[in-house]
Structure 1
């Protein structure tokens, strides 16, 4: 009788334990109200030797989902919601992370499960309705207070790395603080390698030194751009949005003349395409960057996408980057003397 009574208590507990993830698997589950059928993309923002997964699509049925990720160690995992907003969290083997929220308020989704994610949620609490500047200040304080925690890296990725307007300071400084505080974090090392060029040429940074040959046979260097405002434009013939910059560049050339230096970095598939486009669109100081995003110049200038640009003042300092074509003329007007 006592044995049967013992089984009565032990069996439900055993069944509950068996439903959890094993020690080599992290589980994500959740309920997003207001969603019928949709998908969330899950991917690691950088490779990790502990990660056994890939870029996956998590199917939502009536707003509910469950996803298992094989990993041997805690892993930074980024989720892309159906509205393309993102959330980075920490997937820990043997633990389950639960997300809950509403489809029309995805930035307020609550995270629970595990010490790191609870710390992360503590940062997220109260952010709704705050200005971007306030959230940046709060994020900087959080990272400086918790530089050894994965939650701090997740905050950095969502607030600073994902920003459309990265800054030389404090963004780059925070990245180096995290790397110094987490020397054994393989994911963070790769993240830093990818982001350093971006922050090194972000708003407030000095323009890196370079010397390049133009398609017309001339030479252009970073030193030649000092003393007046300069605009470096990145484009590629394979991108359908390049046409948006061309009329603006022509208008800037007519309006500002010699007071503005314009350099065009062409990330075309081959030199022939670049040369044809430079001639067709009257692109001045055209440089062909062989290798597209992996070219030495593109990496040195922190090119993230095309079309993009760097706006530099007369002292050689980056004052803005990747400005929308509709706002470009106004931005240039502020720095041209």
Structure 2
């Protein structure tokens, strides 16, 4: 959802005018079933710092663009689908496909477009591959194409944006890329994100945090000491996290009297009234906090939150025990906490005899 917010700002703020004129890029596309529509083309990093509008009529569209060097861009469709597109001066880009399969377009005109097209066509032939199969396929591509811009995109999509990112695997794949690729702004941004994620990886000690609840009372990690703490990141404007509130309501109902486990909500809202209204509407009875700074909030940055919804489980000592856990994993962890407590109590009774 964060990407959607950033994209909205891009749509508002970027102009369609470029800088110095260079050799033109010819772009022609035909996507069956697209009909009449409007597409947008925007830069994946600052090397293409503008927004271009592509008008589609009877499934077809075309444009003449200007770039100074090979750049990574994103083709945005009206349904929210994003597809990477690489442009270089003098290129003649051809795009073909079906509106029913926007994730498998055929794009030619330069090497990275052709490489990514081949990769996606091979995926299409696999039917419904597992997450593991997709990751292995992407890893093989990255290792075999250490200087391709498509490798950066695949690293981001299949590893950095994974539900549980494997930091060491990401670093290994990034290390194998050429220096020229690592110097790309897009890649530098990914590496910076990876560094931040590593600081709050499972097993690391959580940073100290301070927030205020609905009543304005300060809530800190020290306030909630001696308990396992499940931190829920959400926002009233985020549809998916609003839907996930049902899961947390069930967890809270079961565990509200559990002295060893507690739940706290951290909202990325900007509007205080809307936040309070949603807490009431969604019946969020557990502790709720917000600093009204959205994605710029201190706690959001401390825990390297990149998307919503998100959650983290902290031990009583502040160690990060899990990230983005589903309901089954949370219930399993709560059960383990209770079993561990019972073992300790049984051991104490035995020692007293």
Aligned length: 304
SS for the counterpart of 2:31 is: strand
Instruction: Provide the rounded CA distance (Å) in 1 between the counterparts of 2:218 and 2:90.
Output: 61
The answer to whether the Cα contact below 8 Å between 2:234 and 2:242 also exists between their aligned partners in 1 is no
Rounded to whole Å, the distance in 2 between the matches of 1:238 and 1:106 is 27
CA deviation map 1:48-87 (0-9, x unaligned)? 2xx2532x33222222111333321111111233443332
CA distance in 1, matches of 2:78, 2:162: 19
Deviation at 1:133, TM superposition (A): 2.0
- Is the Cα contact below 8 Å between 1:172 and 1:199 reproduced in 2? no
Aligned partners of 1:39 and 1:199: how far apart in 2?
39
Map 1:55-204 onto structure 2 (within 5 A): 56-128=52-124, 129=127, 130-163=129-162, 166-171=165-170, 173-175=172-174, 178=177, 182-194=181-193, 196-197=195-196, 201=200, 204=202
Residue 237 of structure 1: how far off its partner (Å): 4.2
Q: Distance in 2 between matches of 1:160 and 1:69?
A: 32
- Structure 2 CA distance for aligned equivalents of residues 142 and 258 of structure 1: 49
Q: Deviations over 1:254-277 (max 9, x none)?
A: 323234332321323267876787
8 Å CA contact 2:197, 2:304 repeated in 1? yes
CA spacing shift, 1:306–1:185, aligned 2, 3 Å: closer
Secondary structure of 1:182's aligned partner? helix
Q: CA 1:334–1:30 in 2, change beyond 3 Å: closer, same or farther?
A: same
Q: What's 1:298 paired with?
A: 300
TM-score (norm 2): 0.71
**Counterpart of 1:236?**
235
* Closer, same or farther: CA 161–82 of 1 in aligned 2, 3 Å: farther
Matched, 1:30 2:48: no
TM-score (norm 1): 0.74
Match of 1:7 in 2: none
* 1:291-312 C-alpha deviation (Å, 9 max, x unpaired): 2101221122222344432345
- The answer (yes or no) to whether the contact 1:201–1:318 under 8 Å persists in 2 is no
Residue of structure 1 aligned with 2:319, choices 313, 316, 319: 316
Cα distance change on mapping 1:209 and 1:23 into 2, 3 Å: same
> In structure 1, how many angstroms separate the alpha carbons of the residues matched to 2:177 and 2:222?
34
Q: Distance in 2 between matches of 1:52 and 1:175?
A: 25
Moved more, 125-134 or 308-317: 308-317
3-state SS in 2 of match to 1:332: helix
C-alpha RMSD of matched pairs (Å) = 3.6
- Which residue of 282, 285, 288 maps to 1:282? 285
1:252 aligns with 2:248: no
Shift of 1:233: 0.8
Q: How far has the Cα of 1:162 moved from its partner? A: 4.9
Distance 1:87 1:265, change over 3 A: same
The answer to whether structure 1 residue 211 and structure 2 residue 209 are counterparts is yes
Pair 243,98 (structure 1): closer, same or farther in 2 beyond 3 Å: closer
Return 5+ residue gaps in structure 1 as ranges. 1-21
C-alpha distance in 1 between matches for 2:278 and 2:100: 43
Cα distance in 1 for partners of 2:115, 2:305 equals 33
Whether the 8 Å CA contact 1:313–1:319 is kept in 2: the answer is: no
Q: Distance in 1 between matches of 2:152 and 2:330?
A: 34
SS of structure 2 residue aligned to 1:47? coil
Q: Contact 2:209/2:299 (CA < 8 Å) preserved in 1?
A: no
For structure 2, list consecutive stretches of 5 or more residues without a partner in the other structure: 1-20, 337-353
